[in-house]
Amino acid sequence: MATKIILDTDPGIDDVMAILFAEAHAEIDLMAITTVYGNVAIDRATRNALYLKQKYQFSADIAQGAVGPLIKDPVGPTVAVHGESGFGDVAVPEVDGEIDTRPAYQYIIDAVTAQPNEITLVAVGPLTNLALALQAEPNIVNLVKEVVIMGGAFGVNDHRGNVTPYAEANVHDDPHAADLVFSAAWPVVIIGLDVTEQSFFSGEYLDQLRDDAAEVGQFIWDVSRFYLKFYKEKVGLDACHVHDPSAIAYVIKPELFTLSEGPVRVVTQGPAEGMTIQKFDGRQYFHDEWQMHTPQRVGVAVNDVELLEIYRQTIINYGHKMS
């Protein structure tokens, strides 16, 4: 039976790759897309989600979420990585489409209350909407099936940060929200840079996807041009890391990932703001800000070959279905 998910996202380029993956795979029932600021401002995020819904005839609801972080000043859109539109050089026209009247956090609360222990929350942007939902209705920790996060960096495989030496972008955008989400008494799986930077969509891989997956493959190729240019100029790769789609891959096939278990906290201020730290031992300490919190699971290894093949085959099948 397909896993019901609400996908919380700030639709930029790798978000497109993840959204289409979720919509395309038979093991996922994409119930809703809740939008959040991050790669783009909130109005643009919602517009991008509506555009994808209309373009590919999604049945998913769209609910607009937070405009900025809980406490800290906004960092602002990552135009250098995702372009002005969020979709690189691909222009996103104005689209007519209905969005749910509820704010994203309320949509999440209502959905999991109506279907207790059936819905997985998958968040691939800043975690503000999830934190707001927790603050408004703490009991949702008992109603959610699982929470899967693309975010964080724990130093495994030498991956420590991508916007500061020690912070990943989604967590850095709202560290207070991330700390609330990771500390809550619900089951969280964190798919961070430690594993997402172990997988690569190479230029050749994306070219092949364009050739084999009909219009859907062409669209992914089109939006990826800006992204690959950024990676080539700034990182020196003819490839991009598989960030947001890795969270979807976890929902489809968890055994692709090796996980480390232990409570997770987030540094919320200072030069290490946004740093994620997992306590992985059971030792008792005199001073321990982790001890009373729920052990969560963090990705530390991934079968990247199989992940890339699952993504490729899913998009090819979907492209043929939509053509």
Which residues on adjacent β-strands are paired with residue 146? 120
Joined tokens for residue 229: 């240019």
Closest CA to 189 of 270, 255, 238: 255
- Cβ neighbours of residue 55 under 8 Å, at least 6 residues apart? 219
Active site residue 174: no
- Rounded Cα gap, residues 196 and 148, in angstroms: 13
Active site residue 243: yes
Cβ count near 114 (within 10 Å): 10
Joined tokens for residue 220: 């992914």
Which helix or strand (DSSP H or E) is residue 240 part of? Answer: strand 239-241
Of the residues 82, 241, 243, 293, which is catalytic? 243
Of the residues 10, 61, 173, 174, which is catalytic? 10
Which helix or strand (DSSP H or E) is residue 56 part of? Answer: helix 42-56
Which residues on adjacent β-strands are paired with residue 106? none
Could you list the active site residues?
10, 243
